[in-house]
Amino acid sequence: MDILGKYYELKEEPWRIFRIMSEFVEGFEEMSLVSPAVSIFGSARTLPDNRYYRQAEEVAYLLGKEKFNIITGGGPGIMEAANKGAKRAGVQSIGLNIELPMEVRVNEFVNRPLSFRYFFIRKVMFAKYASAFIAMPGGFGTLDELCEILTLIQTEKMISVPFILIGKDYWQGLVEWLQNKVLEEKNISSEDLNLFTVTDDLNEAVKIIKTNYQKLKNGQSNGI
């Protein structure tokens, strides 16, 4: 880039705040209408014949029957499965899509789509308007969302709400590492291991979420 090009890039930099602001405003306006809701995370690479795809669809359906709307990233895989379950249950099926270099279209089961340019704004929408969280098996993106939200709860930047990890076989290695290495090195406290629940029982997951929500005032902000 020549000197003149770099100059104009620097001049434009402060104006990004208005793009960020407009994205936040649109997100707040749209997402304020979705409570109560549960955010479900998981891999975009999971195929429909995978058991975790079927579990994601079923847990979203069961939550929908309890009148919880479902929030996902709006893409394929686990996200598609959860949106499909929400649509089956007749609740709002929200897809928070992210604009990426490779085109990723919102899946066909989303009935309330919202597109974001910035990952950090999208994360706020996942966290701020959810009464609980579910992590199905996934990769870096799922781990990022898992750790970020658990950090918000750990640091009391948001109220403590259920975070359910579904798939004991998948998550067991991570749990053992947290227990045997991270806790042993005193990088977390023993209480931090209670911030999430690992289960294969979808009905147990729904019961935990429903019971916790009933203790909160309807529509209460989680603090973000």
Tokens found for residue 206: 């729904």
Domain of residue 121, residue span: 3-215
- The beta-strand segments (E) located in the chain are 37-41, 69-72, 93-98, 112-116, 132-135, 163-166, 197-199
In a domain, 223, yes or no: no
Structural domain includes residue 221: no
Strand partners, 98: 116
pLDDT digits (tens, 9 = 90+) for 177-203: 999 999 999 999 999 999 999 999 999
CATH of the domain at 180: 3.40.50.450
pLDDT value of position 221? 56
Is residue 189 domain-resident?
Answer: yes
Give 114-173 pLDDT, tens digit per residue. Answer: 999 999 999 999 999 999 999 999 999 999 999 999 999 999 999 999 999 999 999 999
Answer yes or no: is 222 within a domain.
no
Q: Are 38 and 166 in contact (CB under 8 A)?
A: no
Q: Which two tokens stand for residue 157?
A: 């930047």
Alpha-carbon gap, residue 197 to 221, rounded angstroms = 22
Q: What is the pLDDT of residue 19?
A: 86
For residue 112, tell me if it sits in a domain. Answer: yes
Indicate the pairing of strand 197-199 with strand 93-98.
unpaired
Q: Give the pLDDT confidence of 33-91 residue by residue, as tens digits.
A: 899 999 999 999 999 999 999 999 999 999 999 999 999 999 999 999 999 999 999 99
Please count the structural domains in the chain. 1
> Does residue 220 fall inside a structural domain?
no
Q: Is residue 105 part of a domain?
A: yes
